[in-house]
Amino acid sequence: MKRHLPGLLTLICVSLISLFAASCNSPVEPGTEPTPGGLVIAWFNGNAYTVDLYFPESDSLVTGAYNTGEIPSDIISHEKDRIAVLNSTSSTVQVFDVNSTGGELFHIDLPAGSNPYQMSWDGNHLWVTLLLTSQIAKVDLSSGGSVSIIDVKANPTSIASTGSLVLVGHGMSYPDPSVTGGITVLDASTGDVLDSIATADNVCSLRYFSKTGMVHAMTYSYIGDGLISIINPISMEILTQVNTGGSPGYPIEAGSGFVAGDGWSSDAIFFYDEGGTLTDTWNSGVNATGLAISGDTLYFTDFAEDMVYLADWTSKVMLDSLAAGDGPQGIVAIER
């Protein structure tokens, strides 16, 4: 099975698909065409360096809608009609308008060789972890926007901003073997360190949910030890934990609860609540690497099979599948 974890430094030269001719050195930009209306599902293909778009209302799939930089590692929808893609070895953030295919609207350069890893949008600024330089970046996400660099503890993998606070998760042993985990809490306006939160080893992802005011921290080391810690960022304490027995990925809201895939380890999809209960584990038959939801439909990428699947998350019934580019990973739903 192929395995290309996001943010690693190894470059894989592959043929890009669909709308453009392939060249690893100078890829041709896709043609500029308007896209269908309504909901957009967007995902990046980590091995193909592309973004695909799916439009459920017209059942239209546009493969290779955009070219990314080298080794894309994260994607967010930060405002209506726009997505941002983080590129690890290119050290850039690109912004695209989903109303049309083609080139980027603009990009912002991050420090070369820093290996940007994950990002979080707080409504005003983009926050990015810089894994190899033990830093985070505060980015004004506009054309020509400024970038402020803040030093943090080593191995910053994940990040979540509440607007006033920034929580930085630390990975296990890479690149600094002396650091194995934990969360650093900073003041968003000054960058000053306020406190730290002790967690299990290897914080792989963080997400702030404004609906509840909580931060969810995913920790695991691929040996069935995956925990989801529910953190109150104001009191800076772990309120409860969900033991998944797997390797839970980036979480999203699902009705009144939450869901995370186990795509790097198994076909499990974990449903849980902030009370510390694992409410359900669905073995879907495919490995869900990234998740997005719109209504009752769950969209999830399968990195190994180059597919995106659609399912009714309320009944746990598979609905459809879409052919993706090489190595689909992060995925978002954009309501228009």
Q: What is the pLDDT of residue 15?
A: 27
Query: Do 215 and 233 form a contact (C-beta atoms < 8 A)?
Result: yes
**Span between the terminal Cα atoms of the chain, in Å:** 37
Span 190-246, pLDDT tens digits: 999 999 999 999 999 999 999 999 999 999 999 999 999 999 999 999 999 999 999
CA atoms within 13 A of residue 129's CA, in its CB half-sphere = 30
Q: Which amino acid is at 118?
A: Q
How many degrees, rounded to 5, is the angle at CA 330 between CA 294 and CA 11? Answer: 165
Q: What is the pLDDT of residue 29?
A: 77
As a whole number of angstroms, the distance between CA 181 and CA 262 comes to 20
Alpha carbon of residue 53 to chain centroid: 16
Say whether pLDDT at 106 is over 80: yes
Per the structure, the complete domain to which residue 317 belongs is given by: 40-334
pTM of the predicted structure, to 2 decimals: 0.91
Span 284-317, pLDDT tens digits: 999 999 999 999 999 999 999 999 999 999 999 9
- The arithmetic mean of pLDDT across residues 136-160, rounded, is 98
Asked, as a colleague might, if the bond just before 175 is cis with ω within 30 of 0, I would say yes
Mean pLDDT is lowest, of 1-10, 152-161, 256-265, for 1-10
Quote the number of domains for the chain: 1
- Residue 4 inside a domain? The answer is no
- Residue 30 inside a domain? The answer is no
- Residue 2 inside a domain? The answer is no
Q: What is the CATH number of the domain that holds 211?
A: 2.130.10.10
Buried residues in 294-303 as b, exposed as e (16+ CB within 10 A): eeebbbbbbb
- Residue 153 inside a domain? The answer is yes
Span 25-73, pLDDT tens digits: 345 678 889 999 999 999 999 999 999 999 999 999 999 999 999 999 9
- Residue 25 inside a domain? The answer is no
In the chain, % of residues over pLDDT 90: 90
Span 74-100, pLDDT tens digits: 999 999 899 999 999 999 999 999 999
Q: What is the pLDDT of residue 31?
A: 82
Say whether pLDDT at 4 is over 80: no
Q: What is the pLDDT of residue 28?
A: 61
* Mean pLDDT taken over the chain: 92
Alpha carbon of residue 21 to chain centroid: 27
- Residue 62 inside a domain? The answer is yes
As a whole number of angstroms, the distance between CA 304 and CA 188 comes to 37
As a whole number of angstroms, the distance between CA 15 and CA 110 comes to 27
- Residue 32 inside a domain? The answer is no
- Residue 6 inside a domain? The answer is no
* Residue at token pair 């985990």: 181
* Residue at token pair 């459920």: 56
